């Protein structure tokens, strides 16, 4: 689900500029699946899919798969359009050392939103 964070990497040079001093590793969880994302100088270098035995990461974002699917629509519905909106609905949990996330909040929002399809289709 989040593996293509790296596939789309090439298209993100502008986004990387927003986080050029950021080096971190974070976990995205859909509860059933986990993805470990490595960022160097604002560039997603690696996305590893679990299961993991002893994963090491700085912070973790956890939401059920169906909530991530709603977030990743071309035009998400109200309440699913932003990670803080999901936090407000208590369907997304932020855990760990949140400093990299909060100091690069817009970068992470746009990074995750970059997985949305460019054209509207299959929206329910």
How far is the C-alpha of 124 from the C-alpha of 108, rounded, in Å?
Answer: 25
Distances (CA, A) of 92 to 10, 28, 60, 88, 101: 28, 10, 10, 8, 14
Two tokens at 24? 């971190």
Q: In the complex, what is the shortest distance from the CB of residue 50 to other proteins, in angstroms, rounded to a whole number?
A: 27
Between residues 48 and 110, which has the closer beta carbon with respect to other proteins? 110
Between residues 34 and 67, which has the closer beta carbon with respect to other proteins? 67
Between residues 37 and 83, which has the closer beta carbon with respect to other proteins? 83
Question: Are 98 and 16 a contacting pair, CB within 8 Å?
Answer: no
Q: In the complex, what is the shortest distance from the CB of residue 103 to other proteins, in angstroms, rounded to a whole number?
A: 4
Q: In the complex, what is the shortest distance from the CB of residue 98 to other proteins, in angstroms, rounded to a whole number?
A: 8
Give the interface with other proteins as residue ranges (CB under 8 A).
75-76, 78-79, 81-85, 87-89, 98-99, 102-107, 109
Q: In the complex, what is the shortest distance from the CB of residue 85 to other proteins, in angstroms, rounded to a whole number?
A: 4
How far is the C-alpha of 54 from the C-alpha of 114, rounded, in Å?
Answer: 29
Question: Are 9 and 43 a contacting pair, CB within 8 Å?
Answer: yes
Between residues 31 and 102, which has the closer beta carbon with respect to other proteins? 102
């Amino acid at each position: 689900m989040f593996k293509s964070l790296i596939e789309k990497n090439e298209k993100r040079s502008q986004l990387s500029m927003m986080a050029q001093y950021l080096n971190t590793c974070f976990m995205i969880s859909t509860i059933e699946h986990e993805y470990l994302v490595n960022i160097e100088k604002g560039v997603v270098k690696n996305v590893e899919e679990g299961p993991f035995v002893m994963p090491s990461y700085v912070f973790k974002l956890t939401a059920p798969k169906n909530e991530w699917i709603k977030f990743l629509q071309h035009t998400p519905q109200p309440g699913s359009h932003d990670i803080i909106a999901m936090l407000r609905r208590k369907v997304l949990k932020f855990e760990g050392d949140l400093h990299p996330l909060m100091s690069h909040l817009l970068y992470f929002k746009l990074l995750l939103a970059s997985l949305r399809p460019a054209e509207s289709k299959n929206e329910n």
